[in-house]
């Protein structure tokens, strides 16, 4: 019987250092009898030697297009843009099922080539909860950038953040924040809404790692409905709530005009400014690592951070955590009639009907 073959492709999205499978995950798959191929990568946070030491097959970047037909191509972010038919089974975040830009072209390539897509976003358990997510590190990274921006505001750095890149690990990030806070008489306090969720717990842990005061809000505290004037009394507001229905906004432009506002940094970890469900209707587009802050007020300073790939700030920890969550399910790939795979395949078939 042939071994189940997992092929880890190199990421090509600019500045994306994360990976769906760390060297320790590759080692475990091999120990469980899988064949694993790993592409060389100029972006992966993990060095090539860490993968080659696992006895995985090492191949050039991008060679997945010529992989054996039974290889399961594992990635994280989008495939490089092209038009050739997709013949393999693929596991990655395709960003196609909500009719995002280029969705029809991508799914048509699968339909034409006879390939299959198991979208990472839709690998869910019996409660329809995603089995692997980057949420914790999104919250941790978002809160970290917010504290760093607050400190730079106080240190008269303008803009407070620019050209942010990935850190080798969280200790390097924490050290930079501590250095920025070192000469300040005061330290910021934070309000985290959605504190009991994945990203919320990450934001809270960042505050505690820096010994900062943090107010933790969740369903009980927000049940009365917004807007919440209490947000203005904190230095930093971190939104970690992914809203899927129309709710009163947490904060409004009018509320932010309060002359007694203490708030000077907002980070929207959930980052969905394009839909009607946005609980922060104070901005219209995401920010970026190159330009992380959108200045909402110039006199009584107020900056907004809304980056939609925050875990990339800590590619090592976020990859290790995500890969470990995913590994449990990758180990069942030798029988895709069980676990998360049938539901994901059925969704793919439904989304490609009529193409």
DSSP labels, 273-305: TTSTT-S-TT-SS-B-SSS-EEEEETTTTEEEE
Q: Give the list of residues 6+ apart from residue 109 with CB closer than 8 angstroms, or none.
A: 83, 84, 85, 86, 115
Cα distance between residue 169 and residue 174, in whole Å = 9
Contact 249, 285 (CB under 8 A): no
The string of pLDDT tens digits covering residues 191-221 is: 999 999 999 999 999 999 999 999 999 999 9
Mean pLDDT of all residues in 244-255: 90
Give me the domains of the chain, ranges plus CATH numbers.
Answer: 5-131+315-352 (3.40.50.720), 135-308 (3.40.50.720)
- What pLDDT score does 49 carry? 98
Contact 167, 15 (CB under 8 A): no
The string of pLDDT tens digits covering residues 256-271 is: 999 999 999 999 999 9
- What pLDDT score does 83 carry? 94
Mean pLDDT of all residues in 294-322: 96
The string of pLDDT tens digits covering residues 224-245 is: 999 999 999 999 999 999 887 7
Residues tagged active-site: 77, 95
- What pLDDT score does 101 carry? 86
Q: Assess whether pLDDT exceeds 70 at residue 1.
A: no
- What pLDDT score does 223 carry? 92
- What pLDDT score does 278 carry? 86
- What pLDDT score does 247 carry? 84
Mean pLDDT of all residues in 46-61: 98
Mean pLDDT of all residues in 146-161: 97
Cα distance between residue 243 and residue 265, in whole Å = 21
Mean pLDDT of all residues in 60-70: 98
- What pLDDT score does 98 carry? 85
Q: Which residue has the tokens 């050209």?
A: 163
């Amino acid at each position: 019987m042939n071994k189940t073959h997992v092929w880890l492709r190199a990421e090509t999205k600019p500045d994306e250092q994360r990976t769906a499978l760390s060297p320790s995950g590759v080692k475990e798959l091999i120990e469980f009898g899988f064949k694993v191929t790993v592409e060389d990568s100029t972006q992966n946070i993990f060095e090539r030697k860490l993968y080659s030491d696992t006895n995985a097959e090492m191949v050039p970047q991008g060679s997945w297009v010529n992989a054996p037909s039974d290889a399961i191509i594992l990635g994280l972010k989008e495939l490089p843009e092209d038009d050739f038919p997709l013949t393999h089974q693929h596991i990655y975040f395709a960003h196609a099922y909500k009719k995002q830009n280029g969705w029809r072209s991508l799914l048509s390539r699968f339909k034409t080539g006879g390939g299959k897509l198991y979208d990472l976003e839709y690998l869910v358990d019996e409660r329809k909860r995603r089995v692997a997510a980057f949420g914790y590190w999104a919250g941790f990274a978002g809160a970290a950038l917010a504290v760093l921006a607050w400190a730079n505001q106080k240190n008269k750095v303008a803009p407070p953040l620019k050209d942010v890149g990935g850190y080798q690990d969280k200790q390097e990030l924490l050290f930079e924040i501590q250095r920025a806070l070192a000469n300040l008489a005061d330290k910021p306090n934070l309000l985290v809404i959605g504190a009991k969720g994945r990203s919320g717990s990450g934001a809270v842990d960042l505050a505690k790692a820096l010994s900062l005061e943090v107010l933790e809000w969740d369903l009980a505290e927000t049940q009365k409905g917004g807007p919440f004037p209490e947000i203005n009394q904190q230095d930093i507001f971190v939104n970690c709530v992914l809203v899927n229905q129309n709710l009163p906004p947490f904060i409004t432009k009018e509320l932010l005009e309060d002359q007694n506002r203490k708030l000077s940094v907002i980070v929207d970890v959930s980052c969905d400014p394009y839909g009607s469900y946005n609980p922060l209707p104070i901005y219209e587009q995401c920010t970026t690592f190159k330009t992380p802050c959108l200045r909402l007020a110039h006199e009584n300073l107020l900056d907004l951070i809304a980056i939609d790939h925050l875990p990339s700030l800590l590619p090592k920890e976020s990859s290790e955590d995500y890969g470990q969550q995913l590994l449990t399910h990758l180990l069942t790939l030798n029988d895709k009639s069980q676990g998360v795979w049938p539901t994901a395949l059925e969704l793919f078939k439904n989304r490609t009907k009529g193409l």
